[in-house]
Amino acid sequence: MRFWIIPFDMYIVNSKDVKPYPLKNCRGVWVRYLLHAGVGAKRIQLRLFTVEPGFSTPLERHEHEHEVYVLRGVGVLRGEEGEVEVKPGDAIFIASNELHQFVNTGEEPLEFLCTKETDKPPEVLA
């Protein structure tokens, strides 16, 4: 019998073990930086957002795109063309420079995973 030793360059963390930070200049929104340059991710950041009931992320646009997956809660995603409801199980692509904002319209926290293309660690961890 042969055994192969395969080198792995992996990092595993449970989201509950990652400190939540308040989103800069935004009340009622928390972010956990799950994967980022500080742990070896060279191109993509994976973040877990929590938006408390009645609050929203900033209305913004920027160069990087987002891929989002809604885990819990309900809300609306605002854009230049209007609003669309979002719920658990929804996968969302937000193109570069697309105006966007997530609003929690429910009675429980709205949680979603969101990617960001960057080779820098989060400001709060640098």
Q: Please list the active-site residues.
A: 114
Do 99 and 57 meet the contact criterion of CB atoms below 8 Å apart?
no
In single-letter form, the type of residue at position 66 comes to: H
DSSP string, 70-93: EEE--EEEEETTEEEEE-TT-EEE
Q: Where are the beta strands (DSSP E) in the chain?
A: 21-22, 29-35, 44-51, 66-72, 75-79, 82-86, 91-94, 101-104, 110-117
